Amino acid sequence: MAIRLGDTAPDFTAESTEGTISFHDWKGDSWAILFSHPKDFTPVCTTELGRVAGLKPEFDKRNVKVLGLSVDPVDSHNDWKGDIEDVTGNALNYPLLADPDRTVADLYDMIHPNANDTLTVRSVFVIAPDNTVKLTLTYPASTGRNFDELLRVIDSLQLTANHSVATPADWKNGEDVIIAPAVSDEDAKERFGDFDAKKPYLRVTNQPG
């Protein structure tokens, strides 16, 4: 069944390039991203895995654990690692799950049979400290993901988890935010100080925190 926002991310135990992972135990109370790749030794996947390895310090800064998945076995992942480093300059520095029997892929609905009945699509799940799913993305095999956008979304998710605000189109960390409609003007003044009411329902203020 499809996983929807607010659902508890299903738990699983699977082999990875860093040993056996029991997902909820491994994740603990960090944020996590779980992202799938169609297949080992494929061009777009090679660039994506290297890019995420290069961004690992950015995920660490945000307390986000990174977990990749490709349906091939661990031996194949280990053989592929050298290519990822050769091509992107970044060595794999996070675990890559093996899922040869498609257990995790099925749990997370990562195989879309009308696209391809054996390979996973490019799924992303962002999972909060309480294990609820906060974001899902699905890209086709032919389109590599934009991981800067993923960091931007994580910044928004972490901000809006802690403050009664929302983030506007194309927002980036540090820019002005929108006060949540449920907050009264009086309450908004108390919480945020000055704000600019562009419309009664659209009140903008400096990013809190």
Active site residues: 45
CA 92: distance to chain centroid?
17
Among 101, 152, 198, smallest CA distance to 160 is for: 152
- Identify whether the C-beta of residue 81 lies closer than 8 Å to the C-beta of residue 7: no
Is 45 a binding residue for ligand BEZ by CB under 6 A? The answer is yes
Question: Rounded to 5 degrees, what angle do the CA atoms 30, 167, 197 make?
Answer: 145
Of 72 and 155, CB closest to ligand BEZ: 72
Of 43 and 89, CB closest to ligand BEZ: 43
Tokens of 14: 């699977």
Give the contact letters, 113-152, x = binds to ligand BEZ (CB under 6 A), - = no.
Answer: ------x---------------------xx----------
Stretch that binds ligand BEZ, among 39-47, 63-71, 100-108, 200-208 (CB under 6 A): 39-47
> Residue 63 corresponds to which amino acid?
N
Of 26 and 94, CB closest to ligand BEZ: 94
Distance CA 146, CA 33 (A): 14
Of 74 and 141, CB closest to ligand BEZ: 141
Is 87 a binding residue for ligand BEZ by CB under 6 A? The answer is no
Is 42 a binding residue for ligand BEZ by CB under 6 A? The answer is yes
Is 110 a binding residue for ligand BEZ by CB under 6 A? The answer is no
Tell me the Cα Rg of the chain: 19
Q: How far is the CB of 9 from ligand BEZ (least distance, A)?
A: 24
Among 16, 26, 33, 38, binds ligand BEZ (CB under 6 A): 38
Q: How far is the CB of 120 from ligand BEZ (least distance, A)?
A: 9
E strand segments, 131-199? 133-139, 165-166, 177-179, 196-199
Number of Cβ atoms within 10 Å of the Cβ of 140: 12
Of 32 and 44, CB closest to ligand BEZ: 44
Is 159 a binding residue for ligand BEZ by CB under 6 A? The answer is no
Helices (H), 63-173: 74-88, 103-107, 147-162
Residues that bind ligand BEZ (CB under 6 A): 38-39, 42-45, 119, 141-142
